Amino acid sequence: MTDQYTPKLTKPDSEWRSQLNDLEYRVLRQSGTEAPFTGEYTDTETEGVYECRACGAELFRSGEKFHSNCGWPSFFAPLAEDRVRYIEDRSLPGRPRVEVRCATCDSHLGHVFEGEGYDTPTDLRYCINSVSMKLRPTS
């Protein structure tokens, strides 16, 4: 968990608002969540790299994506640990979570959960909003 953090990329709020549509802004800059089963990447199996929609930083690879049936794209690991950062999230009473943010621009991506029993190489599920990412196909 990180307490003090300065993003590598900063922009004034007005620039983020002009760059992102309303939903992108609400999720990426205000830690919102898109509705489950509505995102364009929930069931996508296209090979490629998922980038931060706000800054273009590479975050996840399709090889780490799996079907969790939770309503959002799920990954068992980020591309590299230095691509994301983690923040304790106590916004839901009685249910502490770990928020996942882009390490480059500090945009909200989603949450990571542990110990859910998925048959993956890690015991983690990165539950990421589709609207927080762009998929760059490998072919």
Residues 1-36 pLDDT 10s: 445 777 788 899 999 999 999 999 999 999 999 999
Q: For the whole model, what pTM was predicted?
A: 0.91
Report the DSSP pairing between strands 65-66 and 133-137: unpaired
Average pLDDT for 84-112 = 90
Is the confidence at residue 113, as pLDDT, over 80? Answer: yes
Average pLDDT for 97-118 = 95
Average pLDDT for 118-138 = 96
Q: Where are the domains of the chain?
A: 35-137
Q: What is the pLDDT of residue 3?
A: 52
Is the confidence at residue 136, as pLDDT, over 90? Answer: yes
| Catalytic positions | 127
- Spell out the residues 6+ positions from residue 104 whose beta carbon is closer than 8 angstroms to its own: 7, 8, 9, 52, 55, 57, 83
The CATH code belonging to domain 35-137 is 2.170.150.20
Lowest mean pLDDT among 2-6, 94-98, 113-117, 120-124: 2-6
Q: How far is CA 77 from CA 20, 54, 120, 137, in A?
A: 26, 20, 10, 18
Is the confidence at residue 39, as pLDDT, over 60? Answer: yes
Mean model confidence pLDDT for the chain:
93
